[in-house]
Structure 1
Amino acid sequence: MSDHLGIAAIPRRRYLVLVMLWAALLLPFISQATAQCTARDVLQNRLKLPTAEQVRTPKAPTASAADIQTWKTIEVGTLAGSFALVGALDAAGCKSGGQAAEILARPAATVSATKTDVELVAVPATELGFEGDTAKLAEIYALAQQLGFQLATAEIGAQLRLQYFEQPIGEFLIVGMEPIRTWGGEPVILNIANGGAGLILIGQDGRADADIPAMSRIVFVRSIKAAPTQGIGEAAAVAHR
């Protein structure tokens, strides 16, 4: 693989300097995030919630992004590059699948230069108006954007993993994002998951014609029109640059 050859070609002294610099950038974050993704810590985080979650009931198809409440607000632009983002996931004990780790290392996985709050929604395809058991990924994206939502970025997906330590067991959230191609050319998107053994970040099929279960919840960014208060819409736009 070309990436391994590139690492081998770095002089030893320069490589050590890069490692030390990376560690220095991660140190403040590591002290806050250590072991937060392990199964035991997830359970403890769940027990700290003030009230039990309400059971999600099916809703009528939405007519606009404004009809769906913000599910979670996260902060992006807190780490200096994608390598620091991957390191923060490791420091928190959040395991990454092979495809997820690979696309986060690709040049397309850019990181915001400024700290920005981003409002997110998590909706199933059925709530967007799709019928049947599955829907094509490209069709879901098209309708979501038509309703006023924006696609997320790989950074938003990774930061959501780092800022959603209380995720319930059995929940898998698809990140509605432009797919990033692996070194082999396969389009991949991210999935925020808790399979029971701890919090993980995995990759999944990002092809336009990929079949997505209609009941699966997909994470999108609110549009500028849907959330103008306190500049959240503008902040989401910055996150997509």
Structure 2
Amino acid sequence: MSIPKSITRCTAVNRRNRSTACHYLVVLILSVCILQLASSTAQTQCAARDVLERQLKFKTRASEAPQRLIQSERDIATWKSITIGTFADSLKLRNAMDSMRCSVGSQAGEILARPSFITASQKTDMELALVSPTQLGFTSDRVTLADLYSRARKLGFELAPAEVGPQLRIQYFDQPVGEFLIIGMEAIMTWSGDPIILNVANGGAGLILIGQDGRAEAEIPATSRIVFARSRKLAPNTNLIDQAAAVPRE
């Protein structure tokens, strides 16, 4: 970072005239530069360097796909809770990912720009479950999305809103290298009519949100890890909903 010319000129004047005011100006400008640099560094959460530093610090690694057979969604604990509805529209959500240097694949970027991609109208905490097709009872090497979704629904899981993909991307900075998480969601059509679902990934070059084939007949490996939403039971106290609606969004 180069030193502004105003600092150089001000420093020279300060040496000649011993101006206290000029000295304070120099300190102020330097402080602003430092704060801007710190802010820029803090926002690069998804960059490969930041990811690597977190991997070395916390020694995180990709976990193996779950294998234990489950009979219902109550058999497993919540994997992660995230908040959706924190941005007024998908454009602001995309800008947030860009500011954090989270990469977005071409297909993912395209469906984020589609009118059918909507964000929640209010802030909502959502519990997510992480399962594999094997854990849901499939014994073949590959399974279609249609069969996977049907089995998941029968066991009590729900398809996640499309917003879960990008929200999970900016709320899951400690994702291990080599982990690719398919979002169990309704596919969104690209401009050319291709159905796409989202995948939250860390391939080693930084955190990224990518798209993949979302056709009902599309096949995925039985060892894949799928993110579903947990079924939400309506609470008797509706004041919590009213309070959440009162929280301002960006």
Q: Same fold (TM over 0.5)?
A: yes
How many Å separate the matches in 2 of 1:57 and 1:157? 19
C-alpha deviation, 1:68, in angstroms: 1.2
Confirm whether residue 117 of structure 1 aligns to residue 125 of structure 2.
Answer: yes
What does residue 3 of structure 1 align with?
none
- C-alpha deviation, 1:181, in angstroms: 0.1
1:40 Cα deviation from its structure 2 partner: 1.2
Q: Please name the residue that 1:219 is paired with.
A: 227
Cα deviation per residue 1:30-65 (whole Å; 9 max; x = unaligned)? 97961100111112333454x756954753321000
Look up the match of 1:145: 153
User: Would you say 1:197 and 2:205 are equivalent positions?
Assistant: yes
Task: State the match for 1:68 in structure 2.
Answer: 76
What root-mean-square deviation, in Å, do the aligned CA atoms of Structure 1 and Structure 2 show?
Answer: 2.6
Write out the 4+ residue segments of structure 1 that deviate beyond 6 Å after TM superposition. Answer: 30-33, 227-231
Give distance in 1, aligned partners of 2:227 and 2:181: 7
Q: Give the corresponding residue for 1:46.
A: 55
Structure 2 residue corresponding to 1:185, chosen from 177, 180, 193: 193
The residue type paired with residue 84 of structure 1 is: K
Stretch moving more, 186-195 or 34-43: 34-43
Rg larger for = 2
Q: Does structure 1 retain, via aligned residues, the 8 Å contact 2:179–2:202? A: yes
Cα distance in 1 for partners of 2:237, 2:40 equals 30
Q: TM-score, structure 1 length as denominator?
A: 0.77
What is the percentage of aligned positions where both structures have the same residue? 55
Q: For structure 1, which runs of at least 5 residues remain unmatched after alignment?
A: 1-29
Match of 1:173 in 2: 181
Alignment size in residue pairs = 202
Structure 1 residues 223, 186: closer, same or farther in 2, change over 3 A? Answer: same
Name the SS for the 1:66 alignment partner. Answer: helix
Partner of 1:20: none
Q: Is the 8 A contact 2:157 2:231 kept in 1?
A: yes
Unpaired stretches in structure 2, ≥5 consecutive residues: 1-38, 246-250
